[in-house]
Every structure is written in structure tokens, then in C-alpha cells.
Chains A and B, each alone.
Chain A
Amino acid sequence: EPEVTQTPSHQVTQMGQEVILRCVPISNHLYFYWYRQILGQKVEFLVSFYNNEISEKSEIFDDQFSVERPDGSNFTLKIRSTKLEDSAMYFCASSEVGGTGVSPLHFGNGTRLTVT
């Protein structure tokens, strides 16, 4: 069964450094998402991406964050200058059609980001 893959599984970085989290969504999916889950807290929506542009973003997704689909397979989340409070598990997801109103999300196993 096709799956969403994320790399790396764990990233440790120093405060102020830039990080790029990588994802390969399921190949025939058209909608891509980033969510995060701070340890012990709820899953939070960051951003959705469709047709090579951001379709929706949350208040969390400020100017420090950016997303990109650099080629036909990868989908990346960049945090420009990491803060301690960015420490979380970051999940990439994709869906086939129609956004959340229609189809379920397929998640990767996440990247655990630790900012020291």
C-alpha cells in the first residue's frame, strides 16, 4: 500500500538555526498538509498546499515557516529560525481529492524536531 514518507525521523537543532523537514506524499495525491503535535498536546494544523500554492494556513504558520514542492515528488517544510517552542512532532499528510470535506488524510510517521 502506498505511504507518505518523512525524513529525517529525528532532527536536533540549535535555537536560531534553519531546518528543512522533508516529505514524499503518495504519488497520485493532489493535496498536501503539515501538522504538528507538541508532546502531550493536540495535533495542530499548520498549512495545506494545492496546485503549487498554499490553500490555507493557521495562525501558527507565521513568516518563520514556508513550504515548497521543489519537484514532482517532494514536499518540504522550512523553519527559518527555530525557537524552543518549535520542538514538536511534525507530520506530513496527503489526500487524494477535495480537501478535508471529502477525503481522509494519509500521514507519514513524522519528524521529531528538538530545538535546544
Chain B
Amino acid sequence: SQQGEEDPQALSIQEGENATMNCSYKTSINNLQWYRQNSGRGLVHLILIRSNEREKHSGRLRVTLDTSKKSSSLLITASRAADTASYFCATAHMDSNYQLIWGAGTKLIIKP
């Protein structure tokens, strides 16, 4: 099955800096979603961008989607220590109504 891939695998930045994570996928999608996972906890939905959208904002988060390149990026501006977590992209594919295909995640560390 096709799977999303995030890069980088790990990212360590200073508090206040911006963090950018990328995701690539292989097949046509209905939407792409970003989730956050704190260590040992569940996945928290951050943002959903539909295949006909190119950019979406939510607070300090900005997500872009380029369906021609089959890629997405998640930008967190003015990072905070509390943003330390793993970030996953998940794609909802056109041939499935219910299944999300997940990337391996980017582990983000914000240094105070």
C-alpha cells in the first residue's frame, strides 16, 4: 500500500524559530491531515487540507498542499517548548472511504 513519508525524520530547533516538516505521498487523495503525538500519548488532529485546497492556516500552523508534486508541508511559526512532539501526515485515498495511510513522522524537539 502507498504510504506518506515525512522529512526530516528529526528536527531540533531553538524556541521561537520556525519549524517546517514535509510529507510526500504516492497516489491520488481526497485530503491530507496532520496529527501531533506527544510521547506515549494518542494522536491529536491538527489540520485537514482537501485535495482542491492549496494552503490552510490554523493559529501558528500553516499547511500547504501541492497535488502535482504529491507533497505537503507543515510550518509551525514561533515555536514553543510545548510544540515538542512527533508530527505525522496521513492521507485519505480516493479508493478508500475509511482508511488513513500514515507517514513515519517527524520528531520535533524545541530547545528552550
Contact = CB atoms under 8 A, between A and B. Distances in A.
Interface of A: 4, 31, 33, 35, 41-45, 48, 50, 55-56, 58, 91, 93, 99-101, 103-110
A48 B102 CA distance: 15
Given A42-B103, A104-B48, A91 B43 contact: yes
A33 B33 contact: no
Given A42-B3, A101-B30, A101-B31, A107 B98 contact: no
Contacts of B100: 35, 43, 45, 100, 105
B98 A56 contact: yes
B102 A101 contact: no
Contact of A58 (B33, B99, B104, B105): B99
A110 B105 CA distance: 18
Given A55-B97, A109-B42, 4 more contacts: A35-B100, A91-B42, A100-B30, A104-B45
Contact of B45 (A33, A50, A106): A106
B98 A108 contact: no
Interface string B98-112: 111111110000000
